[in-house]
Amino acid sequence: MAFFFLCLYSIAVLIRPHEFSLSTANFIIIKVFAILSFGFTLITLRPIKLQPQHYLLLGLVPLIMMSAFLNGWGTGGIFQAQRLFVSSIIPFFLYSALIATPGRQRLLMYICIAAALVMVYNGHIQQASFNGKYGIGIGDSITVGREEMRITYLGFFSDPNDLGMFLVMNMPFVAYFFGRGGAVVKIAMLAILVAFGYGVYMTGSRGTLLGSVAVIGLYFLISNAGARLILFACLSAPIAATLLASFGGLSSTESSAAGRLDAWYDGIQMLIHNPVFGVGMGNFMDHHGKVAHNSYVHVAAELGVPGYSLWGGALILNMLVGYAILKRFNRYPNDDDPQDLEVSEEKSEQYKEEANLNKALFYSMIGFMVTAFFLSRQFTLLMFIFMGMQTASHLRLMKLRPDLEEMFSAKMVWRCMGYSWAVIVAVYMTLKVGL
């Protein structure tokens, strides 16, 4: 029952059918499904075991309140912390705890792909009705009124950047089904991939376009390169992309690229002058006037070193575990380990399927991390939904291969909290060259 209501929650959050009509748009069905799923989880799931990622994210709740209090905004901090817990951490917990089988994972992947297709279809309707100023789609969703037409959707997808991010994060799902399907499925998946590309184009989001290219490029890089080359590419790619934007290669105007670099600079200055608790969650715009256009800088500026380390540590831990499974634990049994020779063929096939799911989720999160480098989406629900699915994948793999638990040791958690600062270093290097 808990998973059933999680599926309904996913449909309500991503496809948002209740918002197709203005008469039902204000129904609170998303909250109802979330409460029912959470309630059934607490009643029926035993044992309830939290992972390091849960503790890292839960640590943000008191830190946000403390940061706001020290910055003269105590009640606001309580509100921000409550919203993070209810709208982000609880969904993350539900997805990580309830996706207990590959079948459940595939079902949610189908829901995500279906939602993305509805968004592309809605964008096509908006484009067809565009009159030079705006276009209208399902539920009176309206295009962004600028010189170029940029499609939107309903709810938090009313920003083209969020819509584009979701399309990019679904592309690895399509690749997964393409790899395991027959001729008909492969043709269908290719058509869906083309539709997603069309959707990315209609969003007019440069960050989304970079995310699409990065997912493809990093797939070939990770598949063929060594760890050092991959690390160098991950650090240098954001710098190169930003510098291209600064010279007008990816930006519609030079001022927009310069404004982004100025925002990053101000964010770094906020971090330097408020290293412990930052300027307070939600206060970045009070100090700069606009968002940071970089999720990593935004978190570091608002929550300081401890807050960013918790947020970035949870994200990087998921990614490093996913990478380790992709490169180091991709086979089971391992022919080089005599202890693995007793593993049954059935268990080996189960592990292979789970490893393929891990690969799809890993590259989906790559899409998020790249697009988040150019957008302030540090607490978007998409991050926590996909992180939850990725964590669930790791837990299923650990059941098949217990030695994976070493990846969640306290030492590894501390390392990931430190590794997360590599992104801030990349921003700093970009500012040194670009300003």
Beta strand 144-145 with 149-150: parallel, antiparallel or unpaired? Answer: antiparallel
Half-sphere exposure of 35 (CA within 13 A, CB side): 5
Which is nearest to 393 in space by CA: 425, 421, 372, 364? 364
Name, of 15-29, 101-115, 122-136, 392-406, the range with top average pLDDT.
101-115
Rg over CA atoms, the chain: 21
For the segment 183-217, what is each residue's pLDDT rounded down to a tens digit? 999 999 999 999 999 999 998 887 788 888 888 88
- Give pLDDT, residue 249: 41
- Give pLDDT, residue 33: 93
Which is nearest to 413 in space by CA: 54, 74, 162? 54
For the segment 383-424, what is each residue's pLDDT rounded down to a tens digit? 999 999 999 999 999 888 888 888 888 999 999 999 999 888
- Give pLDDT, residue 291: 82
- Give pLDDT, residue 254: 47
Name residue, tokens 């949610």.
108
- Give pLDDT, residue 235: 63
pLDDT above 70 coverage of the chain, percent = 87
Half-sphere exposure of 253 (CA within 13 A, CB side): 5
Name residue, tokens 């990622």.
53
Q: What are the residue ranges spanned by the domains of the chain?
A: 1-48, 52-98+209-435, 105-204
For the segment 212-255, what is each residue's pLDDT rounded down to a tens digit? 888 888 888 777 766 666 666 666 666 666 655 554 444 444 45
What's the average model confidence in pLDDT over 148-169? 89
Q: Indicate whether 69 pLDDT > 90.
A: no
Q: Indicate whether 278 pLDDT > 50.
A: yes
For the segment 250-276, what is each residue's pLDDT rounded down to a tens digit? 444 445 666 778 888 888 999 999 888
Count of Cβ atoms closer than 10 Å to residue 235 Cβ: 14
Per-residue pLDDT band for 99 (boundaries 50, 70, 90) equals very high
Which is nearest to 281 in space by CA: 82, 26, 39? 82
Q: Indicate whether 177 pLDDT > 60.
A: yes
Helix H or strand E encompassing 37: helix 29-44
Whether the ω angle into residue 160 lies within 30 degrees of 0, i.e. cis, is no
Burial call 54-87: b when 16+ CB within 10 Å, e when fewer: bebbbbbbebbbbbbbbbebeebbebbbeebeeb
For the segment 302-319, what is each residue's pLDDT rounded down to a tens digit? 999 999 999 999 999 999
